[in-house]
A and B are shown apart, each in its own frame.
Chain A
Amino acid sequence: MVYLLTIFIAAIFTHNIALTYLLGMCPFIALSRNMKTATGMAIAVIFVITLTAAINWPIYHLILIPTHSELIYYIIFIIVIAASVQLVEMIMERFFTALQAAFGIFLPLITVNCTVLAVSLFMVLRDYTFLQTLFFAFGSAVGWMLAIVMVAAINEKLRLIGDIPKGYQGAAIIMVIAGIIALSFLGFAGMVKIQ
């Protein structure tokens, strides 16, 4: 139990998937221009990452390993991700119209958000158990949300001042902000350790 919590905390702070592993950067740069879209995307990401990790673990350990077909796990994972995104979209359209209006536009984008695939790949590399995978996936997604929301908040305020050099507007300034936040996250190093 303590170890599960360690994985969770590590995934948010010390091994933040956006700020330490530099993953999920395409939507990160594109959507961290205002808080509202950033939060919307992040919530959708949390849901999809946790869901796909929970599906991919049994597929890998109960189907791929017994049949000795680990070779194709990349293909299977990416199909699972694409399919579950589609499924979530359909369910939302049907039953949760309000949610659909808020998060619908982010869902198709998630398929190519590398954090989703990365969480499943880390799960294989680090040989996590099912529960560890769940905590790791949820933690990573929350960590990603923390990063994107922080950057979006700063970016929003910064643009109000509006004194950014021309070439630095847009992607470049977002990277500088992210860099400074990543720098401050280095302070968490060693707080908890994961293998």
Chain B
Amino acid sequence: MKDRLLMIVFILVLGSILTISLIAVDNYTAPIIKKNNEIKIKKSVLDVFGIPYSKDTIEKVFSDTVEIRKIQNKTFYILKNGDIAFEIKGSGVWGPIQAMIALKSDKKTINAMVIIYQEETPGLGGRIADKSFLSRFKGKKVVPELILVAHGKAKGVNEVNAITGATLSSKALQKIINTNIREYLPLIGRM
């Protein structure tokens, strides 16, 4: 009986000491983690609009140039000239793909795109994050639908050259863009 009691007291004391130290660590790191996530999004917004910034001026540049508007839980980032950016996400070949896409003020032409997160095969599908690939999207129409075609075959205003050797990742990205745009466009129309 005495043994049992000792056991329970031991676990309780140890548990509470550890819990207190964990709460202390959490209190200390939570605001930093929150800020990290905000900065990550802000960076990608500034990147996709092509606005120059440095490590220390992110917050200021962002609040000076970008307006945030929320419609039905979706967040839109708007520039003064009417360019509009939003986050798109979906599943790639190996894991989720998360990107920021910017449309021109006509709301159907892609101005730029940056990848925030991807786990595609390095060197193959992973090239969807390369600037040389993403720049192919500039000026392409998302209406009625964006199509990725085999390399060198892109002709129409809504056709983009896919990555050779990474057909699956290219197709996944195409699907992500189209399904997200279809969801976001009606909301943009209401602005």
Real complex partners, A and B? yes
Q: Give A92 Cβ to nearest chain B Cβ, in Å.
A: 25
Q: Is the interface of A mostly helix, strand, loop or mixed?
A: loop
Knowing A71-B22, A71-B23, A72-B22 touch, does A190 contact B96 (C-beta < 8 A)? no
Q: What are the 5 A-B residue pairs with the smallest beta carbon separation, nearest first?
A: A190-B168, A195-B91, A193-B91, A190-B93, A195-B96
Could you say which interface size class chain B belongs to? 10 to 19
Knowing A71-B22, A71-B23, A72-B19 touch, does A195 contact B90 (C-beta < 8 A)? yes
Mask of B139-153 contacts with A, CB within 8 angstroms, 1/0: 000000000000000
Whether A112 is near chain B, meaning CB under 8 Å from some CB there, is no
7 further contact pairs, Cβ within 8 A, besides A72-B19, A72-B22, A193-B172: A15-B94, A71-B26, A189-B94, A189-B121, A189-B168, A194-B91, A195-B96
Q: 21 A-B residue contacts at CB 8 Å?
A: A15-B94, A71-B22, A71-B23, A71-B26, A72-B19, A72-B22, A189-B93, A189-B94, A189-B121, A189-B168, A190-B93, A190-B168, A193-B91, A193-B92, A193-B93, A193-B172, A194-B91, A195-B90, A195-B91, A195-B95, A195-B96
Could you say which interface size class chain A belongs to? under 10
Mask of A129-163 contacts with B, CB within 8 angstroms, 1/0: 00000000000000000000000000000000000
Minimal Cβ-Cβ distance residue in B for A15 = B94
In whole angstroms, how far apart are the Cα atoms of A112 and B168 in the complex? 36
Mask of A178-195 contacts with B, CB within 8 angstroms, 1/0: 000000000001100111
In whole angstroms, how far apart are the Cα atoms of A15 and B19 in the complex? 35
Mask of A1-41 contacts with B, CB within 8 angstroms, 1/0: 00000000000000100000000000000000000000000
Across the interface, which residues of A come within 8 angstroms of B22, CB to CB? 71-72
In whole angstroms, how far apart are the Cα atoms of A15 and B168 in the complex? 16
Q: What residues of chain A have their CB less than 8 Å away from a CB belonging to chain B?
A: 15, 71-72, 189-190, 193-195
In whole angstroms, how far apart are the Cα atoms of A194 and B23 in the complex? 34
Across the interface, which residues of A come within 8 angstroms of B26, CB to CB? 71
Across the interface, which residues of A come within 8 angstroms of B95, CB to CB? 195
Q: Give B30 Cβ to nearest chain A Cβ, in Å.
A: 9
In whole angstroms, how far apart are the Cα atoms of A40 and B183 in the complex? 49
In whole angstroms, how far apart are the Cα atoms of A194 and B97 in the complex? 11
Q: Give B115 Cβ to nearest chain A Cβ, in Å.
A: 16
Minimal Cβ-Cβ distance residue in A for B93 = A190
In whole angstroms, how far apart are the Cα atoms of A194 and B90 in the complex? 9
Across the interface, which residues of B come within 8 angstroms of A189, CB to CB? 93-94, 121, 168
In whole angstroms, how far apart are the Cα atoms of A71 and B121 in the complex? 32
Interface set, chain B 79-107, CB cutoff 8 A to A: 90-96
Interface set, chain B 106-148, CB cutoff 8 A to A: 121
Q: Give A77 Cβ to nearest chain B Cβ, in Å.
A: 15
In whole angstroms, how far apart are the Cα atoms of A71 and B19 in the complex? 10
Q: Give B176 Cβ to nearest chain A Cβ, in Å.
A: 11
In whole angstroms, how far apart are the Cα atoms of A72 and B95 in the complex? 26
Across the interface, which residues of A come within 8 angstroms of B172, CB to CB? 193
Q: Give B5 Cβ to nearest chain A Cβ, in Å.
A: 20
Minimal Cβ-Cβ distance residue in A for B169 = A190
Across the interface, which residues of B come within 8 angstroms of A194, CB to CB? 91
